[in-house]
Amino acid sequence: MNALDAVTLAHAAVGMLRQQLPPGTLVHDVVHEAGHAVNVIPEHARARYEVRARGTEELAAARRRVRACLEAGALATGAELDIVPRGHDFADLRQDPFLTSAYLRAARALGRDPVPRHGELMASTDMGNVSHAVPSLHPCIGYDTGGALQHTADFTRHGTSEGADRAVLDGATALAHVAVELATDPRRRADFLSRVELRRAAAEAGPER
């Protein structure tokens, strides 16, 4: 049994799976360990996989298919497969329409030009789970990164720039304006609180049977 062969086959299977996945469903993986010497057959390999999708049903379907790829690598090489889940699933993010529009108005008042990106798959966050429980807002705000792409060292260096500091302050100010607008509008405030209570009651009642 060669654990490196098993993880190689699994990686290749996932690569071929990607073309069969629906738009918005993504799979990322990294191999942490697959041997330590070229003249020793690896007995152990360790990799990490992350699956992202537009909704919980799509996520569950993609997870099943990725698992099949891992099982195929193990079956073909005679390796044993041990899958260890990490954390909990993140639900899809549901942005509240009123909170979103209030944030857009506040950001524009600060001289920003926000671009609505409703429905786009942008990141993985447990804020999605929160948004299923209460009306929520999770906006984004940008600053100049000199063209550097996210998740790179160049992008990180721009995070200490004056523009990045201004983005933090503008984002906080815009969110404060959203809170003020909601709190000072009796109709909106009452509607917001009633929806919070309805979702809380639904959560306490549990799933329908």
The CATH number for 62's domain is 3.30.70.360
Overall number of domains in the chain:
2
For residue 58, being part of any structural domain is answered with: yes
Q: What is the DSSP letter of 34?
A: S
For residue 147, pLDDT over 80 is answered with: yes
Residue 67 in contact with residue 83, Cβ under 8 Å? yes
Domain assignment present for residue 150? The answer is yes
pLDDT range class, residue 192, cuts 50, 70, 90:
confident
Report residue 198's pLDDT band, with 50, 70 and 90 as the boundaries: confident
| Stronger pLDDT, 209 or 130, i.e. the higher one | 130
Amino acid type, 55? G
Res. 122 pLDDT band, cuts 50 70 90: low
Cα gap 191→132, rounded to integer Å: 16
Q: Which of 77, 109, 131 is the last residue of a domain?
A: 77
Kindly tell me the number of DSSP H helices and DSSP E strands found in the chain: 7, 2
Is residue 130 in a domain? yes
In a domain, 89, yes or no: no
Q: pLDDT per residue over 16-64, tens digit each?
A: 999 999 988 999 999 999 999 999 999 999 999 999 988 888 999 999 9
Q: Which of 10, 26, 29 is nearest to 18 (CA)?
A: 26
Q: Which of 49, 77, 105 is the last residue in one of the domains?
A: 77
In a domain, 37, yes or no: yes
Same domain? 102 vs 21: no
- Whether the predicted pLDDT of 151 surpasses 90: no
The whole domain housing 38 covers 3-77
Q: Within this chain, do residues 61 and 116 fall inside the same structural domain, yes or no? A: no
Total-model pTM:
0.67
Please state, in angstroms and rounded to a whole number, the distance separating the CA atoms of residues 57 and 134.
21
- What does the pLDDT read at residue 209? 42
Q: Which residue would you say has higher pLDDT here, 118 or 197?
A: 197
